[in-house]
């Protein structure tokens, strides 16, 4: 397949996540950065584009202009990556979809359910691919666990526990810092900080592995550090369609924790447990047998998981590879679609815009539950 051409909105000088996206796309060399609008500051955008080796005419100062101009070009971008603050996701994605350009957007997809529903409808109307970068779904171990659940190794799921503790916001932060607006200002971050930022990863990871659909939630969102306007700690009880139960905890004030996302899934026949900080391994404990520790690269994973394993066992694969796996699936599917081939369900092995909508519904309903006194709210 020829390299596809992509553009980026956001991810300018000093932006951590934009750099991650660019580096991980390069891992498989399936797409080439061809255009960008990297900053609201025109000079910063032009200067940064030059650093990245882009011709001046492909570096824009306005994302809407970028969408229109790139759509006109014979060599225009074939998908765009949106890595702007949450507040602008909707408008950026809408502009490129309207011009017939497929999209990959960082999570959460948008602020509101209505905005996300509009993007789902527009992507469907335009027959475009739309991925959302829920990073942790890209790990081979996660895909293997999904296969085991689908194949019945756990039987019917009865209970799920997900937690995502971090400690980096345990103390007050300078409101003038670069991190503060992204996390603590509702005008930029939206209606939730902790739950929207990291609790949404729990929702997506559980949905990816188990296929369970949430029926209702009962949430308490805490502002532990005095003076905060948005949550820094969140506890959510979950009822799934079909009767399974769940309990999610996300926190950014849990001292001693770095990025400790973990899920535990318990069914009639056994249980699974996986930790993001040890992503190459997971445990499977069947009812009628000893606990098994599975290792990526050593143990035989199913084909849909093994194809994303890049190096031998004992050589850790991490965040960059997980991101790259999402892009690998998205770009291969898009290349196939652009060539006129029909896509199979197995081609769509990345978080879709519909999953992005599910995440936004989850966030909004948890906030609604909290605001009503932590009552049960139906999704």
Closest CA to 35 of 47, 49, 22, 21: 49
**318 within some domain:** no
Tokens 């999704």 — which residue?
A: 379
Q: What 8-state DSSP symbol labels residue 156?
A: S
Whether 187 shows a pLDDT value over 90: the answer reads no
Looking at the fold, whether 73 and 146 belong to one and the same domain comes out as no
SS3 8: strand
Looking at the fold, whether 274 and 153 belong to one and the same domain comes out as yes
**345 within some domain:** no
**32 within some domain:** yes
Whole-number pLDDT of residue 177: 61
**104 within some domain:** yes
Interatomic CA distance for residues 326 and 72, integer angstroms:
28
CATH classification of the domain holding 112: 3.40.50.720
pLDDT in tens, 54-95: 999 999 999 999 999 999 999 999 999 999 988 999 999 999
Looking at the fold, whether 89 and 222 belong to one and the same domain comes out as no
Q: Residues 89, 109: contact at Cβ < 8 Å?
A: yes
**335 within some domain:** no
**317 within some domain:** no
Query: In the chain, what percentage of residues exceed pLDDT 70?
Result: 97
Lowest pLDDT segment from 41-55, 117-131, 181-195, 206-220: 181-195
Tell me the pTM: 0.95
Q: How many CB atoms lie within 10 A of CB 91?
A: 15
Mean pLDDT for all residues in the chain:
95
Residue that wins the pLDDT comparison between 253 and 180: 253
Whether 183 shows a pLDDT value over 90: the answer reads no
Task: Report residue 158 as tokens.
Answer: 């009865």
Strands (E), 156-213: 157-165
Q: What 8-state DSSP symbol labels residue 196?
A: I
pLDDT in tens, 85-119: 889 999 999 999 999 999 999 999 998 999 999 99
> How many structural domains comprise the chain?
2
Q: What do you get for the CA distance between the two ends of the chain, in Å?
A: 41
Phi/psi at 120 (5° precision): -60, -45
Listed residues 128, 147, 174: the one ending a domain: 128
Instruction: With residue 60 as reference, give the H or E element that holds it.
Output: none
CATH classification of the domain holding 154: 3.30.360.10
pLDDT in tens, 321-343: 999 999 999 999 999 999 999 99
Looking at the fold, whether 144 and 108 belong to one and the same domain comes out as no
- Tell me the residue range of the domain where 81 lies: 4-128
**307 within some domain:** yes
Listed residues 70, 96, 128: the one ending a domain: 128
Looking at the fold, whether 66 and 167 belong to one and the same domain comes out as no
Closest CA to 136 of 322, 362, 361, 371: 322
Looking at the fold, whether 186 and 302 belong to one and the same domain comes out as yes
Looking at the fold, whether 120 and 149 belong to one and the same domain comes out as no
Listed residues 72, 96, 128: the one ending a domain: 128
Looking at the fold, whether 110 and 188 belong to one and the same domain comes out as no
CA atoms 95, 97, 102, 107: torsion sign: positive
Q: Residues 31, 102: contact at Cβ < 8 Å?
A: no
Whole-number pLDDT of residue 179: 61
Looking at the fold, whether 270 and 296 belong to one and the same domain comes out as yes
Looking at the fold, whether 266 and 198 belong to one and the same domain comes out as yes
**340 within some domain:** no
């Amino acid at each position: 397949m020829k390299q596809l051409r992509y553009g980026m909105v956001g991810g300018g000088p000093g932006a951590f996540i934009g750099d991650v996206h660019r580096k991980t796309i390069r891992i498989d060399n399936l797409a080439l950065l061809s255009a960008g609008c990297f900053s609201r500051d025109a000079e910063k955008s032009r200067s940064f584009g030059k650093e990245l080796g882009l011709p001046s005419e492909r570096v824009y100062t306005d994302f809407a202009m970028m969408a229109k101009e790139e759509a006109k070009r014979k060599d225009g971008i074939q998908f765009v990556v949106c890595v702007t603050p949450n507040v602008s996701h909707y408008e950026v994605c809408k502009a490129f979809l309207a011009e017939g350009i497929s999209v990959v957007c960082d999570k959460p997809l948008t602020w509101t359910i209505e905005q996300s529903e509009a993007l789902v409808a527009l992507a469907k109307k335009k027959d475009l691919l739309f991925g959302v970068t829920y990073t942790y779904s890209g790990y081979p171990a996660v895909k293997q666990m999904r296969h085991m659940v689908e194949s019945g190794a756990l039987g019917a799921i009865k209970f799920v526990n997900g937690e995502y503790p971090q400690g980096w916001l345990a103390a007050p932060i300078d409101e003038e810092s670069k991190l503060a607006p992204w996390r603590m200002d509702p005008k930029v971050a939206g209606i939730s900080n902790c739950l929207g930022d990291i609790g949404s990863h729990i929702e997506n990871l559980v949905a990816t592995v188990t296929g369970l659909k949430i029926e209702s939630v009962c949430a308490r969102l805490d502002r532990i550090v005095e003076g905060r306007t948005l949550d820094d700690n969140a506890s959510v009880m979950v009822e799934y369609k079909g009767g399974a139960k769940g309990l999610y905890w996300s926190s950014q004030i849990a001292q001693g924790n770095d990025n400790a996302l973990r899920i535990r899934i318990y069914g009639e026949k056994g249980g699974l447990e996986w930790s993001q900080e040890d992503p190459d391994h997971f445990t499977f404990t069947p009812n009628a047998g000893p606990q098994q520790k599975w290792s990526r690269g050593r143990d035989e994973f199913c084909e849909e998981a093994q194809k994303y394993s890049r190096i031998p066992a004992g050589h850790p694969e991490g965040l960059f590879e997980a991101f790259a796996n999402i892009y690998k699936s998205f770009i291969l599917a898009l290349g196939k679609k652009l060539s006129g081939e029909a896509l199979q369900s197995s081609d769509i092995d990345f978080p879709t815009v519909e999953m992005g909508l599910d995440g936004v519904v989850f966030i909004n309903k948890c906030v609604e539950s909290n605001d009503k006194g932590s009552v049960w709210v139906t999704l």
